[in-house]
């Protein structure tokens, strides 16, 4: 994704257009941060380490992505034709406009934090790679959606007023602060220990083998 962005920016400059290099650096930093934080180990280890990675994936990287204005770059880099028309149609479509309604984007983003941390979902994904990956993807997508909605930098169906976007940021910040306080006062559900294996608990293998021989004597 970062390579594609830099290639599009280079294309603009080769034809004489101006595209700030600071945006290239912003997008590259966002890509590097996401690549570092996303494939982290599943829930486990120091919770502070997990929080740092969450802040990178859900807040810092989306902001750096959005200020780089990727949609504007794509619209300027694409030649006139079907791909560009499809992108314009998508950006101005009603479903995208609904998702970019700031309060709804905030609910999807902040609600996606309350759900894993204040329910059993956090513990349930501890030893399930697919579930853990789905939560990570949601954090990245929801963070991008929320940041895109409240910044309003790229051309989309509707750019909401500063009052709506500002009130949404304040409400989302309050909900995030309340969540942080509850994590200190009432810790999240702890992940269950993984089932024993021959490596982590050799006795478990012996017990399993004995039970198998009893069930299947031949």
As averages over each run of 10 residues, the pLDDT of the chain (218 residues) reads: 94 92 96 82 61 85 95 93 93 93 94 81 72 80 94 90 95 90 69 49 47 42
Q: What pLDDT is stored for residue 117 in this prediction?
A: 77
| pLDDT value of residue 213 | 42
pLDDT of residue 207: 46
Contacts of 39 (CB under 8 A, 6+ apart): none
Give the max Cα distance, the chain.
80
Nearest-angstrom CA–CA distance, 103 and 108: 9
Distance CA 104, CA 85 (A): 27
Quote the tokens at residue 147: 């940041």
Alpha-helical (H) ranges within the chain are 2-14, 21-37, 47-55, 61-67, 70-77, 82-91, 94-99, 102-117, 121-124, 129-151, 162-185, 202-215
Question: For residue 105, what pLDDT is reported?
Answer: 95
Residue identified by tokens 């880099």 is: 77
Round to whole Å and give the CA distance between 133 and 112.
14
Q: What integer pLDDT is reported at residue 47 of this predicted model?
A: 67
Best CA proximity match to 68, nearest among 32, 24, 36: 24
Phi, psi at 142, each rounded to 5°: -70, -40
């Amino acid at each position: 994704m970062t390579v594609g962005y830099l290639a599009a920016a280079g294309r603009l400059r080769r034809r004489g257009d101006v595209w700030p290099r600071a945006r290239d650096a912003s997008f590259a930093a966002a890509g590097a941060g996401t690549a570092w934080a996303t494939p982290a180990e599943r829930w486990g280890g120091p919770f502070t380490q997990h929080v740092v990675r969450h802040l990178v994936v859900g807040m810092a990287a989306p902001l750096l992505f959005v200020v780089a204005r990727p949609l504007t770059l794509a619209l300027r880099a694409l030649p006139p034709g079907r791909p560009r028309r499809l992108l314009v149609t998508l950006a101005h479509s009603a479903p995208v406009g609904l998702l970019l309604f700031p309060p709804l984007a905030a609910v999807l983003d902040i609600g996606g934090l309350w759900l894993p941390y204040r329910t059993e979902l956090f513990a349930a994904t501890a030893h399930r790679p697919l579930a853990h990956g789905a939560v990570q993807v949601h954090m990245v997508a929801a963070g991008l959606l929320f940041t895109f909605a409240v910044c309003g930098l790229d051309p989309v169906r509707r750019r909401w007023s500063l009052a709506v976007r500002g009130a949404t940021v304040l409400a989302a910040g309050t909900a995030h602060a309340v969540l942080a306080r509850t994590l200190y006062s009432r810790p999240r559900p702890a992940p269950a220990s993984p089932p024993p294996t021959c490596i982590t608990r050799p006795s478990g293998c012996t017990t399993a083998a004995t039970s198998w021989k009893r069930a299947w004597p031949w």
